[in-house]
Amino acid sequence: MAETTLQIAGRHYDIRCRDGDEPHLAQLANLIEEKARVAQRSTPGLTEVRTLLFAALFLADELTDLRKAEAGRQEKLSLEADDDQAAQAVEQLAGRIEKLRETLAAAAAAA
């Protein structure tokens, strides 16, 4: 087990983590720290708890936006796949119609 110290909103937090996870935790702490600074700048005098609350809300808001964007992207991909399937079905129908036309033309010529 590794230990690392993270600084968030002017306070140090000693954290235990798996060996090798320290850089990732530091990166996450930096994201939280950025949001905490935004909260402190926009509303001076926040308590530590409220600063962290606002940081968490900012991050949750961004996550929600990313999830909505991903859902929209997935929906678009699904619609494109549906379009491809529809195009294939139309091509198959066109081939069948062409064969029927040829059969009818041959029957009319023989009559």
38-95: pLDDT as tens digits: 999 998 889 999 999 999 999 999 999 999 999 988 888 887 777 777 788 888 888 8
**pLDDT at residue 66, rounded to an integer:** 93
**pLDDT at residue 55, rounded to an integer:** 94
Which residue reads 């994201």 in tokens? Answer: 31
Q: For residues 49 and 74, what is the distance between their CA atoms, to the nearest angstrom?
A: 37
Q: For residues 51 and 41, what is the distance between their CA atoms, to the nearest angstrom?
A: 10
**pLDDT at residue 49, rounded to an integer:** 92
Among 33, 25, 29, residue whose Cα is nearest residue 3: 25
What pTM, to 2 d.p., does this model score? 0.62
Give me the residues paired with residue 7 across strands: 12
**Top-ranked range on mean pLDDT: pick from 5-9, 78-82, 103-107:** 5-9
**pLDDT at residue 9, rounded to an integer:** 87
The number of C-alpha atoms within 13 Å of 91 and in the hemisphere containing its C-beta is 6
Segments forming the whole domain that contains residue 89: 2-110
Provide the domain count of the chain: 1
